Homo-oligomer: A and B are copies of this chain.
């Protein structure tokens, strides 16, 4: 029996098992869901055992446990380490769900005419993580596993993976592998396969501009003193030039663009501006000239105010010049940029923009480094070949705009590159009400993963 035949023969069971995972409200941030979250870890443990994995264990942490498993068929063969997470975002706002978030149902949608599984975690990440459990089961049970495989499935991804870095530091020998495989990103479209080769890093800071110790009367003082809101606005405005290029000195020093060939693929990927605007109800797209939307959000860094506040914010009018103005500012980082260096560059420059009539405080919040998957490797070529075989089209190496800081930590601590081979769609409602995952996407994933294992093992053997 081939792997493919095995998958075909067990479609209904695979769906039922995924449903059982989706019924467990493993909301990692909710203390009331601590037992549910732990129970979900034991479900993953059980499915890994059933799949034929060895050394299946729960590793307790200060928070939710990490599920680990391995199948070493020959220490001389390469090893794939699968990373995923069994925890989910909160379901709120509940009233916006058309079906109960933890009672999965299959419904057809315009983009999923053959049906999609609606449930919190359907795509992020239970469905995508379970693809690997089922693909590995199919390979093991049919005797087609071509190399070693390890699983590291955590329960705290949605709260920033606070206990994963200490875990990989402690168990770096156990986790030794040749490549990390993750399905926690999206395809460009069901007929446009893509592999995410870039994740942006993040530097997030609070800034505070103080002009006085008390609010002032805008009549008595207006035009004679610094207004911290106007000053903050002027400082923020100077962070980008007319071309939307960030003006922080040295900020782009560590930005290296991908090859022209990769940029051409990104620029030529199918892109529907109207559809991109429709989701959030945008009036237009805007960014640095000379770059495609996918380049702006993928290979360029960004600088955004995430929040701003100060002075009188209620209905009506109050004629004050406030003492203080605040903002939250974050930068998405790319390529070789380092979040600590970027935060320092920002702080130095931002403070330099302040007139001597105000005091400026800059408080870095948290950060993470960008990650770029090299595309000239056996690992990427194997993933690309597997996607091409499965989808009938060479996947686009896409730079995602978001951040998964733990992926950069894998590279820094474990010294292993990651392949981000996702099978969902950006429109599947991740972190939103009515999250769903196409049934076709789920099985396309289960079929593609063994193609990757085979392509990878054979290329490594040939290398």
A218 to B230 alpha-carbon distance, docked (Å): 24
Distance in Å: Cβ of A391 to nearest Cβ of chain B: 23
| Interface check A259, CB cutoff 8 A | no
Closest Cβ neighbor of A282 among chain B residues: B212
A204 to B431 alpha-carbon distance, docked (Å): 40
Contact B359 A308 (CB under 8 A): no
| Interface check A402, CB cutoff 8 A | yes
Interface size class of A (residues with CB under 8 A): 35 or more
| Interface check A108, CB cutoff 8 A | no
Quick one: given A282-B357, A330-B218, are A224 and B317 in contact (CB under 8 Å)? no
CB within 8 Å of B: which A391-435 residues? 400-403, 426, 431
Quick one: given A233-B237, A280-B323, are A218 and B296 in contact (CB under 8 Å)? no
Closest Cβ neighbor of A204 among chain B residues: B317
Quick one: given A213-B280, A233-B236, A280-B213, are A223 and B319 in contact (CB under 8 Å)? no
Quick one: given A281-B212, A308-B309, A357-B282, are A401 and B224 in contact (CB under 8 Å)? yes
| Residues of the B chain whose Cβ atoms lie less than 8 Å from the Cβ of A229 | 236, 304-308, 327
| Interface check A310, CB cutoff 8 A | yes
Distance in Å: Cβ of A455 to nearest Cβ of chain B: 30
Contact B309 A322 (CB under 8 A): no
| Interface check A216, CB cutoff 8 A | yes
| Residues of the B chain whose Cβ atoms lie less than 8 Å from the Cβ of A288 | 223
Distance in Å: Cβ of A99 to nearest Cβ of chain B: 21
Contact A311 B305 (CB under 8 A): yes
Contact A332 B401 (CB under 8 A): no
Instruction: Give the residue of B300, B358, B403 whose beta carbon is less than 8 angstroms from that of A283.
Output: B358
Contact A219 B332 (CB under 8 A): yes
| Residues of the B chain whose Cβ atoms lie less than 8 Å from the Cβ of A293 | 224
| Residues of the B chain whose Cβ atoms lie less than 8 Å from the Cβ of A286 | 224-226, 355, 357
Contact B312 A306 (CB under 8 A): yes
| Interface check A57, CB cutoff 8 A | no
| Interface check A341, CB cutoff 8 A | no
Distance in Å: Cβ of A175 to nearest Cβ of chain B: 26
A9 to B106 alpha-carbon distance, docked (Å): 96
| Interface check A227, CB cutoff 8 A | yes
Contact A285 B357 (CB under 8 A): yes
| Residues of the B chain whose Cβ atoms lie less than 8 Å from the Cβ of A318 | 306-307, 328
Contact B317 A223 (CB under 8 A): no
Quick one: given A204-B319, A224-B287, A287-B224, are A328 and B311 in contact (CB under 8 Å)? yes
A365-388 Cβ-contact flags toward B at 8 Å (1 or 0): 110000000000000000000000
Quick one: given A220-B402, A281-B214, A332-B223, are A309 and B313 in contact (CB under 8 Å)? yes
Instruction: Give the residue of B223, B280, B320, B355 whose beta carbon is less than 8 angstroms from that of A306.
Output: B320
Contact B230 A332 (CB under 8 A): no
| Interface check A232, CB cutoff 8 A | yes
Contact B283 A212 (CB under 8 A): yes
What are 26 contact pairs spanning A and B, CB under 8 A? Answer: A200-B219, A204-B317, A211-B282, A212-B281, A218-B302, A220-B402, A221-B280, A221-B297, A221-B401, A222-B297, A223-B401, A224-B285, A224-B293, A227-B304, A227-B305, A229-B236, A229-B304, A229-B327, A230-B240, A232-B308, A283-B357, A304-B321, A309-B309, A309-B310, A319-B330, A319-B403
Chain A residues within 8 Å of B, Cβ to Cβ: 200, 202, 204, 210-227, 229-230, 232-234, 236-240, 244, 279-288, 293, 296-297, 300-313, 316-323, 325-328, 330, 332, 355-359, 365-366, 400-403, 426, 431
